[in-house]
Amino acid sequence: MHRRTFFRTGVAAGLASLTRPASVLAYEPPPIRRAGPLRLNSNENPLGLAPAARSAVIEGLTEANRYPLVAMAPLREAIARRHGTTPGHVLLGNGSTEILRVAVAAGTMGATGTLIVADPTFEDVTDYAKPFPYRTVRVPLTSGFAHDLEAMREHARQADGPAVVYLCNPNNPTATLTDCAEIESWITEAPERVFFVLDEAYFEFVDDRRYRSFDQLAVTRPNVLVVRTFSKIFGMAGLRAGYGIAHADTTARLNGYATQITPNHLAQVAALASLEDPDVIARGRAANARGRRILTDVLDELNLEHLPSHANFVMHHIPGDLRTYQRRMRERGAWVGRPFPPMLSHNRVSIGLQAEMEEFAGILREFRQKGWV
């Protein structure tokens, strides 16, 4: 299979995990005595930067006095290759949150617009919409914690003027999937005034065979934007790099709202090195699967219901008051996810290293003994 095509599919990512040597899959950084808290609150990658990315950052420091222009074209080309397209379809951002901001800023096209999102979902999009003339419609997830596409579609149909539809798949905070075939059938029938933002931040963690990227649809349809990040599987949350894939006209239009010359040079070289590392995805997926298993085992042991996770975090039930639970966790040295209304009897935990998840399992058992969970 051609390498580009190989990288594109979720299934291919799964196969990559199976075909990498065991030493790669077993990789975890050497244990360190952690001075601070157990940080399971922001869906970060506990493995840290890929070794090649770390070296690239150190070498890249010699360019820190220059504007970040030399690595920008190679990065755009590498991303384009990854998605089987050309650099004109790639929009770079200071984290994928910048791409989301730009999509929202451009989305009303000067008129009053409707923003249609799931409830709950990742909040950045609705936050970025606040200064703009949007009417925001929050559509509860289905009983299976997927986006309620039928209801969202009806809102889009009724919207007067431009509508922006945010589909986060897998969804944050639930880590659940929405059926890609159903999304595609909506997109292919929707009028151009409906702009789809498909956030695939957790793409590489998914194993489900029915899951796939919408990158090819984004390249050909001016009303589709796929958003990706280097913060999750590539472990670069602190460096800030993300991108969008879109039709060349859309990329040009959205660029008008984007920050000039971004991301910074160190983020660019780290992203490039990460894309060139053949093991980074398999390593991250394997570590995530190990940590997630420890977590779901302890949740099962304690009879704490949890949603099926297709990402690097798990949403699980918490009896009692969520804020009290979070405060107690913090006092016990563990940071867990923020509240995600309306799911206020659920807590989101990010997956850490094996040892960290064992520590967290121990804390949960202690909480059970105290009658707190």
Ligand X SMILES: Cc1ncc(COP(=O)(O)O)c(C=O)c1O
Size of interface with ligand X, in residues (CB under 6 A): 13
Instruction: Kindly compute the dihedral angle of the four CA atoms of residues 207, 48, 225, 168, in this order, to the nearest 10 degrees.
Output: 50
CB burial of 49-81 (b: ≥16 within 10 Å; e: otherwise) equals bbbbbeebbeebeebeeeebeebbeebbebbbe
Residue of closest CB approach to ligand X? 95
Helix ranges restricted to H, 222-373: 248-255, 265-276, 280-301, 322-331, 354-369
Stretch that binds ligand X, among 73-81, 229-237, 268-276, 278-286 (CB under 6 A): 229-237
Q: Does 16 bind ligand X (CB under 6 A)?
A: no
CA distances from 201 to 48, 112, 135 (A): 17, 28, 25
Strand 163-168 relative to strand 194-199, pairing: parallel
- The secondary element (H helix, E strand) that includes residue 116 is strand 113-119
Sign of the CA dihedral 348, 104, 254, 169? positive
DSSP state, residue 32: -
Stretch that binds ligand X, among 55-63, 90-98, 189-197, 287-295 (CB under 6 A): 90-98
What's the full length of the chain, in residues?
Answer: 373
Binding to ligand X (CB under 6 A): which residues in 269-288?
Answer: none
Residue from 95, 235, 284, 352 in contact with ligand X (CB under 6 A)? 95
Residue 2: burial class (beta carbons within 10 Å; 0-12, 13-18, 19+): exposed
Smallest distance, ligand X to C-beta of residue 42, A: 6
Q: Does 15 bind ligand X (CB under 6 A)?
A: no
Binding to ligand X (CB under 6 A): which residues in 171-200?
Answer: 172, 199
Q: Does 264 bind ligand X (CB under 6 A)?
A: no
Of 110, 124, 217, 223, which Cα lies nearest the Cα of 165?
223
Binding to ligand X (CB under 6 A): which residues in 25-64?
Answer: 43
Smallest distance, ligand X to C-beta of residue 112, A: 25
Stretch that binds ligand X, among 76-84, 94-102, 103-111, 188-196 (CB under 6 A): 94-102
Strand 242-245 relative to strand 224-229, pairing: antiparallel
Residue from 46, 60, 87, 242 in contact with ligand X (CB under 6 A)? 242
Q: Does 312 bind ligand X (CB under 6 A)?
A: no
Binding to ligand X (CB under 6 A): which residues in 320-349?
Answer: none
Residue from 12, 237, 355, 361 in contact with ligand X (CB under 6 A)? 237
Residue from 168, 314, 343, 353 in contact with ligand X (CB under 6 A)? 168
Calpha distance 359→265 (Å, rounded): 37
- The secondary element (H helix, E strand) that includes residue 151 is helix 149-158
Binding to ligand X (CB under 6 A): which residues in 111-140?
Answer: 122
Stretch that binds ligand X, among 91-99, 283-291, 297-305, 336-344 (CB under 6 A): 91-99
Smallest distance, ligand X to C-beta of residue 201, A: 4
The residues that touch ligand X, with contacts defined as CB under 6 A, are 43, 95-97, 122, 168, 172, 199, 201, 229, 231, 237, 242
